[in-house]
Amino acid sequence: MSGKYDTQHPLPAGSQRGETYNPMLPQIEKLVTVMRGIGEKYGVSPAQVALAWAIAKGTTPIIGVTKVSQVQDAVKAMRISLTIEEINQMEMVAEETGVDTRGSWEMPMI
C-alpha cells in the first residue's frame, strides 16, 4: 500500500490493477490516512510504514525494486521502530476495512 492511490487518485481505469483494486479504495482510505499520519511522524511514506509494520511483525518482506530510490526507501523503513500503539492502530483500522487481498495460498499473519 503505497498511499499513491486513493478515491481521488485511482489506478488507471481499464488496467488489471485498476479493475482489482479501485473498488477497494473507499474501504481502505481510512487505513491509508492512518499510515500517512504515522509516516509523517517518521518522515516516510505509507509504503515505508507498511514495510516497517511487516518487519515489526517478524517477517522478512520480499520487495521488488527497479530503482535505486526504492532500495533507499526500504532502508529507511528498516530504520523505523513502530510503537505498539501504532501497530495496534494500523491493525485495528485494517481489520475494520474488511478487505483481504491475500491469495488463497497465503497464511494469515498472527
pLDDT in tens, 69-89: 889 989 999 999 999 999 999
How does DSSP classify residue 4?
S
Q: Look at residue 65 in the predicted model and tell me its pLDDT.
A: 87
Q: Look at residue 104 in the predicted model and tell me its pLDDT.
A: 66
48 has a pLDDT exceeding 90: yes
More confident residue, 99 or 85: 85
* Cell numbers placing 105: 495460498
Contact 50, 78 (CB under 8 A): no
* pTM score, whole prediction: 0.79
Residue 45's pLDDT band, with cuts at 50, 70 and 90, is: very high
Burial (CB < 10 A; 0-12, 13-18, 19+), residue 93, is middle
Looking at the chain, how many residues does it have?
Answer: 110
Q: Look at residue 110 in the predicted model and tell me its pLDDT.
A: 62
- Per DSSP, the three-state class of 65 is coil
